[in-house]
Homo-oligomer: A and B are copies of this chain.
Amino acid sequence: MMNRVVLVGRLTKDPELRITPSGVPVASFTLAVSRPFSNQQGEREADFINCVVWRKPAENVANYLKKGSLAGVDGRVQTRTYDGQDGKRVYVTEVLAESVQFLEPRSASGDRGEGGYNNPPREQKASYSGGNNYQNQPPRSNNQGYSTDLDKDPFANSGQIDISDDDLPF
């Protein structure tokens, strides 16, 4: 009945942007959050926490964050389940981000000066405006919109075909 998570950490790689069949953007990324204490070997470990974010902030994540970016997440812990390729049930625990904060001032962590508060997005994209306006985009072979990510089947490049509209929160 209460479920709140707050994380600050760094993206382990560039976020991945997907579009559900009904046209809703979803971004997923992993945050590396180093632990505040050392282990028995005296090393500082990290937790690698999978995060998902939907709709408009999904686009922002895809546009402004990349591998190594410092980001804050405010959201909920979420569990879901899907049938693995080997036929057995897979249990997933991840963080559903309700908002994502960009904590990378200017080009502090970037190799090429992009990302950050006041900078233009990595590439200009059509903006999500709350409806299913993605549906009227040709699913492939177009040269704008989500082209870079989507000019291939959005669900083709990873093994996880387990994201569907059923996972939509709210």
Q: Cβ of A36 < 8 Å from any Cβ of B?
A: yes
Given contact pairs A70-B103, A106-B108, A47 touches B168 in the complex (Cβ within 8 A)? no
Number of copies of this kind of chain in the complex? 4
A9: chain B residues at CB < 8 Å are 1-3
Return the chain B residue nearest A117 by Cβ: B1
Return the chain B residue nearest A168 by Cβ: B40
Number of interface residues of A (CB under 8 A): 44
CB distance from A170 to the nearest CB of B (A): 5
Given contact pairs A1-B34, A101-B2, A170-B37, A7 touches B72 in the complex (Cβ within 8 A)? no
State which of B8, B48, B78, B93 has its C-beta within 8 Å of the C-beta of A2: B8
Of A3, A109, A165, most buried by chain B (CB within 10 Å of CB) is: A3
Interface bits A1-15 vs B (CB < 8 Å: 1, else 0): 111111111000000
Cross-chain contact A39 with B99 (CB below 8 angstroms): no
Return the chain B residue nearest A38 by Cβ: B170
Q: Cβ of A151 < 8 Å from any Cβ of B?
A: no
Q: Cβ of A50 < 8 Å from any Cβ of B?
A: yes
Cross-chain contact B5 with A5 (CB below 8 angstroms): yes
Given contact pairs A7-B77, A76-B47, A78-B47, A166 touches B39 in the complex (Cβ within 8 A)? yes
A130: chain B residues at CB < 8 Å are none
Return the chain B residue nearest A104 by Cβ: B105
CB distance from A4 to the nearest CB of B (A): 5
Q: Cβ of A74 < 8 Å from any Cβ of B?
A: yes
Return the chain B residue nearest A39 by Cβ: B166
